[in-house]
């Protein structure tokens, strides 16, 4: 009897050598970085961001109607180069929005999300690893695209006799704000994608926020002449976020008239950040509670 018991004890499983081992957050970040750079949609979306930004900046700098160039003050010249470098954000925001949705919704569509959450049963580690990797990549690409656009615009303006100061703080801050704006839009799109778990639904929703709601609000404001409609529209993601990359002369003063809200860069950035924070928290809660 003792011999039989000893034999069974020897044959009984003693546990896997991987028991107790958990993937660290650094490991999750590395795995999400590998997945992101392996996606074809990443290459296309980020490539479109750079090409569109530089192309639109070059076209704008070349087509701006300039009069009495020699008499234009430095502030005006700086405003032109910021405008040329950031005007393409109206288009590039759409590319990063699509990418932000696809980063999370694509895994739900293919079923890969099950493997992701198997590696991280608590789910929130994987969720925020995707979030952070996406934010860092979009910000870096945003800085590159806006920076190249500013350089190209400056070269073209110099050739036309306009001499902006590219290294002025009044120029650099809006350029960094443009990169930050793209990053926040991508993060908002990611959060919406995690909430809806659908590529089509997520893309339609974020494009509605960026393109449809501002137009509807503008039409309502004109038709009703209601101040509250115009003020409410100022807090939409795209409307508030645009103040991050709007050139403001160092000598400018903000004037509020007729009760219309006017946000500065910091206020607009905080409003957009609040949108991102709320959507991200909702996405995290649903990711934790819902079945895959």
Sequential pLDDT tens for the chain (292 residues) = 455 555 545 544 554 444 455 678 899 999 999 999 988 889 999 999 999 999 999 999 988 887 777 667 888 888 999 999 999 999 999 999 999 999 999 999 888 899 888 888 889 999 999 999 999 999 999 999 999 999 999 999 888 888 888 899 889 999 999 999 999 999 999 999 999 999 999 999 999 999 999 999 999 988 988 888 888 899 999 999 999 999 886 655 555 566 777 888 899 999 999 999 999 999 999 999 987 6
pTM: 0.89
Alpha carbon distance 67, 80 (integer Å): 13
Residue with tokens 């819902």: 290
| Positive or negative: CA dihedral 127, 40, 152, 252 | negative
Of the candidates 179, 175, 181, 183, the one whose C-alpha atom is nearest the C-alpha of residue 151 is: 175
pLDDT at residue 17 in the model: 46
pLDDT at residue 29 in the model: 93
Q: Which residues of 178-201 are buried (b: 16+ CB within 10 A; e: fewer)?
A: bbbbbbbbbbbbbbbbbbbbbbee
Cβ neighbours for 113, distance < 8 A, ≥ 6 positions apart: 107, 292
Cβ neighbours for 109, distance < 8 A, ≥ 6 positions apart: 198, 199
Alpha carbon distance 94, 103 (integer Å): 14
Of the candidates 56, 150, 141, the one whose C-alpha atom is nearest the C-alpha of residue 99 is: 141
112-119 and 89-110 helices, crossing angle to 10° = 80
pLDDT at residue 250 in the model: 65
Query: Strand, coil or helix: what is 23?
Result: coil
């Amino acid at each position: 009897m003792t011999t039989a018991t000893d034999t069974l004890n020897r044959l009984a499983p003693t546990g896997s050598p991987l028991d107790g081992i958990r993937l660290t957050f650094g490991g999750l970040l590395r795995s999400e970085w590998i997945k992101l750079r392996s996606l074809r949609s990443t290459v296309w979306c980020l490539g479109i961001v750079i090409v569109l930004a530089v192309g639109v900046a070059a076209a704008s700098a070349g087509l701006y109607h300039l009069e009495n160039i020699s008499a234009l003050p430095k502030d005006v010249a700086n405003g032109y180069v910021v405008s040329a470098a950031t005007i393409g954000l109206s288009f590039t925001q759409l590319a990063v929005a699509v990418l932000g949705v696809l980063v999370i919704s694509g895994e739900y569509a293919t079923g890969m999300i099950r493997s992701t959450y198997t590696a991280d049963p608590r789910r929130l580690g994987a969720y925020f690893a995707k979030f952070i990797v996406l934010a860092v990549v979009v910000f870096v690409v945003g800085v590159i695209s806006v920076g190249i656009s500013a350089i190209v615009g400056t070269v073209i303006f110099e050739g036309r006799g306009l001499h902006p100061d590219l290294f002025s703080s009044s120029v650099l801050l809006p350029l960094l704000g443009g990169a930050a704006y793209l990053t926040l839009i991508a993060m908002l799109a990611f959060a919406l994608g995690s909430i809806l778990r659908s590529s089509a639904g997520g893309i339609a929703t974020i494009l509605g926020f960026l393109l449809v709601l501002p137009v509807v609000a503008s039409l309502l404001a004109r038709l009703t002449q209601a101040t509250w409609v115009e003020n409410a529209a100022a807090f939409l993601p795209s409307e508030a976020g645009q103040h991050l990359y709007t050139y403001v002369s160092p000598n400018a003063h903000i004037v509020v008239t007729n009760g219309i809200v006017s946000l500065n860069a910091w206020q607009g950035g905080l409003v957009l950040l609040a949108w991102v924070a709320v959507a991200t928290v909702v996405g995290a809660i649903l990711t934790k509670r819902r079945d895959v």
